[in-house]
Amino acid sequence: MQQPMPHQLMGYDRAITMFSPDGRLLQVEYAKKTVKQGSTAIGIVSGEGVVLMTDKRIVDSLVVPEAVEKISQIDEHMGATAAGILSDARVLIERSQLRAQQHRVTYDSPIDTISVVKDICNLKQITTQSGGLRPFGVSLLVAGIDEDGPRLFETDPTGIYFQYKATVIGEGETDIEVILHKEYKDGMSLAEALKLGMKCLYKFLDKDLTVDRIDVAYIKTDEKKFTRLAKPKIEKLIEEVKQHNKGSAEKKQ
């Protein structure tokens, strides 16, 4: 009996517009795998705002850590981070920044988070059905403060989006999702959200967790202002998480 040929040998992964016999777009699936290999990024909604936290994954000692920013401001009340091909993310974020500015000029009011997310996803979806293009190999976490409060959305390479209370993308997704499902609480304070995010990164990075490797930003509901956490505060947060983990380990013994 003749064995079925792999999809790759039959050419179903060569064109974005070609479905495989079992209904899959292989180029899109490859893009999603690219995201899973990207650096870890976490988003957490609290009762006081929303937090974005990411691993810069700086492995070269000659790189200037302060020059690497993995969390970008879209507008005064909105920010985004990404996992996957960061050049793809930059194009999408710059497009979102422009759209947010145009909205302010036209309507004299801040743009809704969902409007930015839909615009990103519309472009992502077009690349999954247009010949000569490739999918965006990146997932974005978009966080903002709307009239109804904090919002957190995740977009993936297919052009689909979901709203979350807390989520993670990138290489640490499997390990960190377990912690978020277990320890996330509705209405938690901003400080608790920051500690939970850092605890998640510590669980995944362990000894590699350093202040130079982490980027953190938050947007408070009452201020509606994108704020990047200063290096000394990140260092203090890391130390608190490490001490808490050390104390828990000693109790078990």
Q: Across all residues in the chain, what is the average pLDDT?
A: 92
The predicted structure's pLDDT at residue 253: 59
The predicted structure's pLDDT at residue 13: 79
Helices (H), the chain: 7-10, 26-36, 86-107, 113-126, 173-183, 190-205, 231-252
187 vs 213: CA distance, rounded Å: 28
Q: For residues 140 and 157, is the Cβ–Cβ distance under 8 A? A: no
What is the model's pTM?
A: 0.92
Domain of residue 79, CATH code? 3.60.20.10
Domain that holds residue 62: 31-246
Return phi, psi of residue 168, to 5°: -145, 145
- Domain membership flag for residue 8: no
List pLDDT tens digits, range 76-85: 999 999 999 9
80 vs 171: CA distance, rounded Å: 18
- Domain membership flag for residue 206: yes
List pLDDT tens digits, range 186-198: 999 999 999 999 9
Give me the helix-helix angle, 173-183 and 190-205, nearest 10°: 150
83 vs 48: CA distance, rounded Å: 25
Higher pLDDT, 218 or 59: 218
- Domain membership flag for residue 2: no
The predicted structure's pLDDT at residue 91: 97
- Domain membership flag for residue 25: no
- Domain membership flag for residue 204: yes
Q: How many domains does the chain have?
A: 1
List pLDDT tens digits, range 89-132: 999 999 999 999 999 999 999 999 999 999 999 999 999 998 88
- Domain membership flag for residue 151: yes
The predicted structure's pLDDT at residue 180: 97
List pLDDT tens digits, range 131-165: 888 999 999 999 999 999 999 999 999 999 999 99
* Mean pLDDT computed over 240-245: 87
Per-residue confidence band for 56, with pLDDT thresholds at 50, 70 and 90: very high
